[in-house]
Structure 1
């Protein structure tokens, strides 16, 4: 019974959500965005100037957490996949695609595509521009390993975990769902960042900058909402055009000519505007009754003598009720078995 109820609920076509739940660039969000940008710049400056943050990077790297607690290594190897771009993007896109289909709007997928585009552009540009080497490829103890051809700063795993899982909270339609998904996103982002430090694939400063890079994208995403709304309108308009084109191309069901004439009215008058000589033009009137079956002229029926039930052969009864007996012209033969 519960399964039938769930399936019936899934088959219902929900209404397209309004734009009331679209996040706005409020004063608090602007303040958080500005603070995160300042933190972003400070982390980059601290690494470039080889400050105490770089020394902390080396201390944790030389401590080698994966050797201190090797029993967690196998589990965390799988857990860090939550920050890889391809698996998480496919998983979240599948969920948001289902939501787009249910809500009859492409907005969830458009928001995800916009955030991933901003993530790859900004984080990729900083990675290539700074060119920092990872802990496993470091060449000089205490060095920041900048501009050495690497692509480790900021942490792509961490930034991707912040953005990909944070999009679920960003698109939540109720306060309760937003709080719950915010906790899930924070757990994934913090866990993936700490796991990369444990495995020795990132410096601590890489993870800090990855968190800041992901938050900058999430906090600044409302500025992209006008372009997302335009793209949504274009997609919906194109979809409506395709549906109209498909309806025009669909074959028209065949209807008999007599049925179409009957629906136009039963009254006709000879002649009329645009009619040929002798042609009857239908006139407006009440709906025509269904045509009666044609009646053929009566045919002559052969006369048949009524035989009295149980009477002798050759006997007949006249219309007046008198019975006559017709003499036999030939003797009866032997009765067959």
Structure 2
């Protein structure tokens, strides 16, 4: 993508994020309808709720931060310190931003049992899983394996976000907002990495033909 197309995409996502922030939540008919449907689903499909409780931990701090730490150490072992710094900074700053936005928007969660103590928008599990796993795929994974890694990262993040709806601890707009913010965070990180020469996302055919920057270089 060109810088212009990236800017247009980022602007569209940012506007959509703000629309979800100001129009979603307990006063939104769409959000409450989705929450009601998932409440009925949860009551009828107890096994699904149990599985959701297990799978949602993938988006928790232990897994996302642990995965980012492994990716950062892997890059350091491969003598790619700038990529390692970019990955670590992306994941940590995104998490901090999510917590600040939760307090800033102040949206209450749906009323269900065993609610987390933090506020609702955006969903931390959705945002943090999207950021951590997609950033690892783009920054730490070698070019020949990058495309499947991106697909896996997106799939895992979508599953994590869906579990928040099944468990009833977030509004749908929280989850969509989390995914969008994660995409924005990773997009910004990749752009900064490319502009600063810390990151070069080589096309796979360039690597095979040895026309691009070798995978092992920072």
Give the shorter-chain TM-score range.
0.7 to 0.9
Cα 1:88–1:179, aligned 2, differ >3 Å: closer, same or farther?
same
TM-score by length of 1: 0.52
> Which residue pairs with 1:151 in the alignment?
119
The structural deviation recorded for 1:210 is 0.7
The separation in 2 between residues aligned to 1:89 and 1:163, in whole angstroms, is 11
Measure, in 2, the Cα distance between the counterparts of 1:73 and 1:47: 24
Distance 1:150 1:84 in 2: 13
The reply to whether residue 79 of structure 1 matches residue 55 of structure 2 is yes
Whichever structure has more helix as a proportion of its residues is 2
Deviation at 1:185, TM superposition (A): 0.8
Rg larger in structure: 1
Q: How far apart, CA to CA, are the structure 2 residues paired with 1:96 and 1:119?
A: 16
Q: CA deviation at 1:167?
A: 0.9
Does residue 102 of structure 2 align to residue 134 of structure 1? no
State the alpha-carbon separation in 2 of the partners of residues 95 and 173 from structure 1. Answer: 11
Residue number among 17, 38, 53 corresponding to 2:15 in the alignment: 38
Task: Judge conservation of contact 1:131–1:150 (CA < 8 Å) in 2.
Answer: no
Q: Is the 8 A contact 1:80 1:196 kept in 2?
A: yes
Point out which structure has higher relative CO (alpha carbons under 8 A, 6+ apart). 2
Q: C-alpha distance in 2, partners of 1:179/1:107?
A: 22
Report the Cα offset of residue 76 of structure 1.
2.5
Q: How many residues align?
A: 193
Deviation, 1:187, is 0.7
Q: C-alpha distance in 1, partners of 2:26/2:53?
A: 33
Tell me the CA shift for residue 227 of structure 1: 6.9
Query: Secondary structure, in 3 states, of the residue corresponding to 1:135?
Result: coil
RMSD: 2.6
The corresponding residue for 1:123 is 98
Structure-2-length-normalised TM-score: 0.77
What are the Cα deviations for residues 247-284 of structure 1, in whole angstroms up to 9, with x where unaligned? xxxxxxxxxxxxxxxxxxxxxxxxxxxxxxxxxxxxxx
Please say if residues 197 and 203 of structure 1, whose CA atoms lie closer than 8 Å, have aligned partners that are also in contact: yes
Mapping 1:1-337, distance limit 5 Å: 26-47=3-24, 50-60=27-37, 62-63=39-40, 65-101=41-77, 103-136=78-111, 151-171=119-139, 172-174=141-143, 176-225=144-193, 229=198
**Residue 294 of structure 1: aligned partner:** none
List runs of 5+ in structure 1 lacking aligned partners: 1-23, 139-148, 230-337
Ranges in structure 2 where 5+ consecutive residues have no aligned partner: 199-218
